[in-house]
Structure 1
Amino acid sequence: MTIKETFPFNALVFTTMTTLPQLADHVGHVAKAMYQEAARLSVMPTGAIHWKYTGIDGNPATVFELEIWLPIQERDIIAEGFEWKHIPSFKCLSLIHEGDWERMPEAYQKAMDYVAAHQLTMTSECREIYQHMDFEVASHNVTEIQIGLQ
């Protein structure tokens, strides 16, 4: 685990309000649609898909904001079904989770333990960067988890 500041970037953005049980409704097809829109617009993707959670607390009934980002090179584009945003830098605790996404709560627990042990103050935002997605062999997934810090 490391504490770091991310770099700012531009992104195509999908935004919705959701709950933990509804997250599976957004896996795969939103990213695919974002890549298709980027291709249609001839814009250059510059990074992996990000999921940003704001207001998530681990309670399955809590409604929170989910933004899915596709980093792109271009600025101020008009996209069908998505918006363009400039994503600012972000101070966070970063850790890598390798393997099945079903085991990600274990990684989050390690992060929460680290935050408590080091008396860090979290923000209401966390992110997941899907560095490698394998929908056939879950053990091949590589996800960077970022917990927002003040």
Structure 2
Amino acid sequence: MLIRTIHPIHVLFFETKTSLKELSQHVRHVARKIYQEAVRNDLEITGPVYWVYEGADGNPETVFSLTIALPVSPSEKILNSEFKTKFLEEFNCVTEQLFGDWNGLGKVYGSLISDIFSGNKTLSGKNREVYINMDFENPERNITEVQIGILN
């Protein structure tokens, strides 16, 4: 079990309430629009797309908060955009990378949660997925880092 502290990250972001059942409606097009807005506003992109889940419990019906975020350098610019900027807070987590199709995410989450409980750690209720490489044509080339929040 790899335990990490992720320092605050400045992001351009989108937020909504959704459920796992409805999650697919945000795939691809939201991140694409965030990238377009970052470029349009001359923001320096500093990392891959993050999906931040708060209150997701694995039940497809549970409504939770979803943030889709793109790390960008802080800027004095006022964005004329549907997106806003903020800092993602410091995040204590256990982490593992998934190499391949996102169908394997459930196994990664299960393994990490088992490690958390066996290590006498407590879930924070926040999770992140960092999409290091997304290949929609060849999903075996995807690289996704799963970060499950823990309390100290």
Q: How does 1:33-52 map to 2 (within 5 A)?
A: 33-52=33-52
**Relative to 1, partners in 2 of residues 1:85 and 1:14: Cα closer, same or farther, differing over 3 Å?**
same
1:86 aligns with 2:87: yes
Per the alignment, residue 54 of structure 2 pairs with 54
Per the alignment, residue 7 of structure 2 pairs with 7
The runs of 4+ residues in structure 1 deviating greater than 6 Å are none
Q: What letter corresponds to residue 16 of structure 1 in structure 2?
A: T
Structure 2 length as normaliser, TM-score?
0.95
Name the CA distance, whole Å, in 2 between partners of 1:125 and 1:103. 19
Instruction: Provide the aligned C-alpha RMSD in A.
Output: 1.1
Q: What stretches of structure 1 of length at least 5 have no aligned partner?
A: none
**Contact 2:12–2:86 (Cα < 8 Å) also in 1:** yes
Q: State the 1:79 CA deviation.
A: 4.3
CA deviation vs aligned residue, 1:75-101 (integer Å, no higher than 9, x gap): 454241111111221110011111111
**Secondary structure in 2 matching 1:67:** strand
Q: How does 1:1-150 map to 2 (within 5 A)?
A: 1-75=1-75, 77-150=78-151
Q: What stretches of structure 2 of length at least 5 have no aligned partner?
A: none
Percent identity over paired residues: 39
Structure 1 length as normaliser, TM-score?
0.96
How many residue pairs get aligned? The number is 150
Name the CA distance, whole Å, in 1 between partners of 2:75 and 2:149. 25
Q: State the 1:143 CA deviation.
A: 0.4
Q: What letter corresponds to residue 11 of structure 2 in structure 1?
A: A
